[in-house]
Amino acid sequence: MDFGLSEEHALFRATVRDFVDREIRPVAIEWEHSGRYPAEIVETMKDLGLFGLTVPEEYGGLGADLVTLAIVFEEISRGWMGIAGILGSHTLSCFMIARHGTEEQRRAYLPDLATGARRTGVALTEPDAGTDLKGIKTRAVRDGDEYVIRGTKLWITNARYADPLPVLVKTDPAADPPQRGMSVLLVEAGTPGFTVSRDLPKLGYKGTESCEVALDDVRVPAANLLGGIEGRGMQQVLGGLEIGRINIAARAVGIAQEAYDQALEYSRQRRAFGRPISDFQAIQLKLAEMATKVQASRLLTWWAASEADQGKRVDIEAGMAKYFASEVAVENALDSMRVHGGMGYSQELDIERLYRDAPLMVIGEGTNDIMKMVIAKGLVSKRAVID
């Protein structure tokens, strides 16, 4: 067993960490509070090839393994989790197109998506359908060589920049079970009737937009049906969400690690009763718990990623990593604020941003209650992970 990174992985992590330290950390507090879009950071991510993480090399991408993907999202989230959001939905969408798209769709979209010349996201959630994707109401009706889409999508990351935007729709609302009537259509930017109606205000997760999207009789060529066959949308989305949960787990590890790092550093500098507060046992116990939980989260995430790299189904593994790491992110953010005392509550430090960003990891890509149900169902009906 080898629980360390390969030389190639370590070198890649050092490159991404240097980028984060140079270009993200110095501006994160100011830009996050002002709501400024990080256009310059996006350009550097293009130069580094990060938009091509899940695009195969034959289409100009990195064709990176999922351990590399986890490293990228952890490192960026340590600096500013909102920036990771710009890449998150993009990499998931690229994965879906690369895995399920027709050859024509791959050739049409993936080369530009790999360079960041095009960007993308995924439109799944609706006002009345979050966790229950089978309950979506957005419908696409075939009309000759086109589909006509009508509906509303909510909380869509990258909506203002997505081209194309994969949209989960019902092509056969009468199908039983409902997932057999669901498909994914690739909607290109500028298509008449496709409107980003508003940006949704958020507690955290700043830096990237989360939008409401209206589709009012949007006409999409039938050639833009992902994979070319109706009724496979739910299967395509769920396969992508397993990878998305590794992404979320890695982001959570980044938040948890940063919270611990800042707590440790502050405890060494802050003095009380004539000595550093790191000398006090109460602080030491918190630091020990935080560090242990970070490493456990990271190993769970790398384990899920490496299992997926071997071509295995990872619904249980990714669910475990996402569930555990996100809970640790929330706990570490609060414990770090406690170590900092009053300064942890100040907007002059990063702790309050970590505290606001962490809860999204508990909710994103399926709530943690859903994750526990996924894990339990897999353990009971399929296989035991723990041997």
Active site amino acids: 365
Residue 336: which H helix or E strand, with range?
Answer: helix 315-340
Residue 17: which H helix or E strand, with range?
Answer: helix 7-19
- Distance of alpha carbon 27 from alpha carbon 37, whole angstroms: 11
Strand partners, 153: 213
CA geometry: angle 147, 153, 157, nearest 5 deg: 115
Residue 319 is encoded by which pair of tokens?
Answer: 């669910």
- Distance of alpha carbon 7 from alpha carbon 22, whole angstroms: 23
Strand partners, 148: 141, 219
- Distance of alpha carbon 387 from alpha carbon 376, whole angstroms: 15
Name residues whose C-beta falls within 8 Å of residue 282's C-beta, 6 or more positions apart in sequence.
none
Q: Which of 195, 191, 189, 128 is nearest to 161 (CA)?
A: 189
Name residues whose C-beta falls within 8 Å of residue 79's C-beta, 6 or more positions apart in sequence.
20, 21, 24, 25, 28, 258
Query: Which residues of the chain form beta strands (DSSP E)?
Result: 139-143, 146-157, 165-170, 182-187, 194-199, 210-221, 271-272, 275-276
Q: Are 349 and 340 in contact (CB under 8 A)?
A: yes
